[in-house]
Amino acid sequence: MPIIFPDIAIEYLKNADIVGIPTETVYGLAADATNSQAIAKIYAIKDRPQFNPLIIHVPSIEMVEELAQVSSFAKDLMQEFWTVRNASMSFVLKLKEKHPLSLLALAGLSTVAVRRPNHPIALDILSALEFPLAAPSANRSNTLSTTTARHVLDSLGEGVPVVDGGSCKVGLESTILDVTNDNLSILRQGIVTEDDLKSYGQVNHANHGDAIKAPGMLKRHYAPNRLLKMNTSKKEEGMAFLGFGHCPDADLNLSVSENLSEAAANLFKYLHALDKSPFTSIGVSPIPNIGIGLAINDRLMRACDNPPLQHYT
């Protein structure tokens, strides 16, 4: 029963489950953006080798204001491109100091990409929920984006619940515009182009092909202030020990039952929690390099000062 109606999708999403939803650009694989357990399911099913930051989908500018710092300039742009032009546009903004979003969905960044999809079904679903939805394109990692419900099932498997909204009109992911400072910067090309933005100020381009992956690919794009050591087997003097599996001396444990999805959901939250005095370093148990464990190790390697060579494959 992989094709579901929007009201069932709403129930699934409230229960921290993932659902394929139509948007005007491509199908999205949606989950509660405030729930790291739900977000971990997205990474697991997409088979993503890294945690890329996900676009946070909202029904309104009001909801953006609960998540991010919205300058009057950014608000004008959202009003123009979302409300007046119904354009497929994501905006990167600085996060509010206090926000409800899952750190896993944000991949530990201090900025957030937000988007109001221009699709009646997506908007109906978003409007029925009290939380925003993280929704990357609904396809297995490194394969084509999907523009019909059938594509989604072919790519992610027949078991994934999908709302069928027909073929996506745009067929290409949204333009991503960084408005965190005075210079507008296009991070991902899309249907909204530089020409459409010129009247709002100077427009820069991030490095073309790299732009899509940029935040997730930066070497030390999320790192705690403390020295991070991978493959640690026991707690040492001054060290905060982040365990996985049976670790009686762990300060926090990513997953006692060795569940990699649970570990992914806890990763950023626990790294933040341990990145504090009196600790001088953070040691992390070995994480199996399989499934979503690949993404966990990828993220740890970027945060770690002496990454183990065997994880460079």
Residues 6+ apart with CB under 8 A from 210: 217
- Find the distance separating the first CA and the last CA of the chain, reported in whole Å: 38
The nearest distance, CB 160 to ligand TXA, in angstroms, is 14
Name which of 54 and 112 has its Cβ closer to Mg ion. Answer: 54
Q: Are 157 and 151 in contact (CB under 8 A)?
A: no
CA distances from 122 to 4, 15, 110, 135, 233 (A): 13, 18, 26, 11, 46
Binding segment for ligand TXA (CB under 6 A), chosen from 51-59, 229-237, 259-267, 304-312, is 51-59
Please choose, from the candidates 109, 103, 115, the residue with its C-alpha nearest in 3D space to the C-alpha of residue 26: 115
The nearest distance, CB 244 to ligand TXA, in angstroms, is 26
Residues 60-119, interacting with ligand TXA (CB under 6 A): 88, 90, 92, 109, 111-113, 115, 117
CA distances from 291 to 44, 50, 117, 222 (A): 7, 11, 30, 21
Q: Which of 64, 126, 151, 173 binds ligand TXA (CB under 6 A)?
A: 173
Q: Are 51 and 299 in contact (CB under 8 A)?
A: yes
Q: Which of 4, 20, 23, 34 binds ligand TXA (CB under 6 A)?
A: 23
Displacement of CA 202 from its chain's centroid (Å): 28
Q: Which of 137, 147, 253, 285 binds Mg ion (CB under 5 A)?
A: 137
Q: Which residues pair with 227 in a beta bridge?
A: 281
Please give the size of the binding site for ligand TXA, defined by CB under 6 A: 30
Binding segment for Mg ion (CB under 5 A), chosen from 45-53, 129-137, 178-186, 226-234, is 129-137
Name which of 115 and 229 has its Cβ closer to Mg ion. Answer: 115
Binding-site ranges for Mg ion (CB under 5 A): 137
Binding-site ranges for ligand TXA (CB under 6 A): 23, 25-26, 28, 52-55, 88, 90, 92, 109, 111-113, 115, 117, 135-137, 173-174, 176, 187-188, 212-216
